């Protein structure tokens, strides 16, 4: 048992914050911390495509570790992609720099859903587990390691739209006019995401994050029905001893269904107030929520805005500093370093 005030390892600090236990300082990591803003990543992109790096365990391991070496974050998140789930089910995709994501076919009917297959799913995602095991070995016990997956609703939006050009009217028309087919698709995705997350935990991840990045597409009053209930099923089926973070972007309604998931941590996007969210979820750890656009400002403004959010950690236990969405590709490396330095200067809640 550690004595009060003892220095924690990066991994212990992150996991203590997830469990709402006192920490010696605030843990910090960033969504999309691995990738486009790093010169070492861009040098790799000159040799390999995005999907080559996702599918090659050694390359994915290297990209995952790059921001840890440069910034010393408390947690690493595996370099991967949410659409590996869709691909392993039978809907492959390609990534083009200018056109974005293009799925091999869009989901338009029950016949298209019938082209998906859960058989062999684990075998087709084995490269993800291999990459995780490599990163776990490299990190040892010093830093936390996160796996992740997209929420069923977010995955369905890509799959129905046929790529990254998300067509909200088409998605909602599909939900309204093909309700049974939509339910079948969501059942398949819920099972697949659950298997995917469980396997990542078994491969060495300390925690997993569910990205509900397209939650804002849900019409008012429909979030729980279209997305929340499926996330709840996944969370309930995952091992309770491992933290689950749920990041919900663009959600504008009350917090009741978020609290109903009984998840360890709620990720708060930059459009929501941390303090209002905390009042609604007093027994849940929070993660967030610096506006990513701040990383494009002058360093002094970055420090000021970071300090304002980090001070939330002075008020109650259970806070992980992060952005309210992913690191922009043109983010200043100096500003990322300033965020990390500033967060670590704030004295956290100690009980």
Structural domain contains residue 282: yes
Lowest mean pLDDT among 75-89, 185-199, 309-323: 309-323
Do residues 349 and 315 make contact, with C-beta atoms less than 8 angstroms apart?
A: yes
Same domain, yes or no: 128 and 46: yes
In this prediction, residue 1 carries a pLDDT of: 44
How far is 309 from 323, CA to CA, in rounded Å? 10
**Looking at the predicted structure, is the pLDDT value of residue 97 above 80?**
no
Residue 220 has a CB neighbour count (10 Å cut-off) of 7
Same domain, yes or no: 151 and 38: yes
Structural domain span for residue 312: 8-22+264-351
Q: Compute, in degrees rounded to 10, the torsion defined by CA atoms 67, 71, 72, 74.
A: -80
Looking at residue 214, the DSSP 8-state letter turns out to be: T
- Domain finish residue from 218, 245, 272: 245
What does the radius of gyration of the chain's CA atoms come to, in whole angstroms?
19
Buried/exposed code over 87-115 (b: 16+ C-beta within 10 A; e: otherwise): bbbbbebebeeeeebbbeebbeeeebbee
Same domain, yes or no: 44 and 17: no
Structural domain contains residue 330: yes
pLDDT tens-digit readout, 105-144: 999 999 999 999 999 999 999 999 999 999 999 999 999 9
82: enclosing H helix or E strand: none
How far is 180 from 129, CA to CA, in rounded Å? 33
pTM for the model stands at 0.95
Q: What is the distance in angstroms between the CA of the first residue and the CA of the last residue of the chain?
A: 16
Same domain, yes or no: 82 and 164: yes
Q: How many domains does the chain have?
A: 2
When pLDDT is cut at 50, 70 and 90, the band that residue 328 belongs to is: very high
Average pLDDT over the chain reads 93
Same domain, yes or no: 64 and 212: yes
Structural domain contains residue 44: yes
């Amino acid at each position: 048992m550690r004595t009060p005030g003892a220095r924690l390892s990066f991994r212990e600090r992150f996991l203590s914050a997830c469990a709402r236990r006192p920490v010696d300082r605030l843990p910090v990591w960033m969504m999309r911390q691995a990738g486009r803003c790093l010169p070492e990543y861009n040098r790799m992109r000159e040799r390999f495509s995005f999907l080559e790096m996702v599918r090659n365990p050694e390359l994915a391991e290297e990209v995952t570790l790059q921001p840890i070496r440069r910034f010393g974050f408390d947690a690493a998140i595996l370099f991967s992609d949410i659409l590996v789930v869709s691909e392993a089910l039978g809907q492959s995709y390609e990534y083009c720099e200018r056109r974005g994501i293009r799925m091999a076919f869009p989901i338009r009917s029950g016949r298209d859903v019938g082209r998906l297959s859960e058989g062999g799913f684990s075998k087709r995602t084995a490269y993800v587990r291999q990459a995780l095991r490599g990163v776990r070995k490299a990190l040892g016990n010093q830093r936390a390691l996160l796996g992740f997956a997209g929420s069923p609703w977010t995955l369905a939006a890509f799959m129905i739209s046929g790529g990254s050009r998300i067509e909200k009217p088409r998605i909602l028309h599909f939900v309204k006019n093909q309700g049974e087919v939509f339910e079948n698709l969501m059942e398949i995705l819920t099972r697949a995401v659950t298997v995917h997350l469980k396997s990542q935990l078994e491969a060495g991840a300390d925690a997993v994050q569910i990205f509900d990045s397209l939650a804002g597409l849900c019409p008012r009053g429909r979030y729980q029905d279209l997305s929340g209930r499926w996330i709840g099923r996944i969370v309930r089926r995952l091992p309770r001893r491992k933290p689950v973070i749920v990041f919900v972007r663009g959600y504008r309604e009350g917090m009741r269904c978020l609290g109903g998931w009984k998840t360890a941590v709620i990720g708060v996007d930059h459009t929501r107030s941390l303090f209002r969210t905390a009042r609604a979820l007093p027994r849940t750890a929070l993660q967030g929520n610096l506006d990513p656009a701040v990383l494009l400002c002058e360093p002094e403004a970055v420090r000021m805005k970071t300090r304002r959010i980090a001070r939330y950690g002075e008020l109650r236990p259970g806070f992980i500093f992060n952005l309210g969405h992913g690191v922009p590709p043109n983010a200043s490396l100096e500003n990322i370093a300033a965020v990390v330095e500033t967060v670590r200067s704030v004295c956290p809640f100690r009980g």
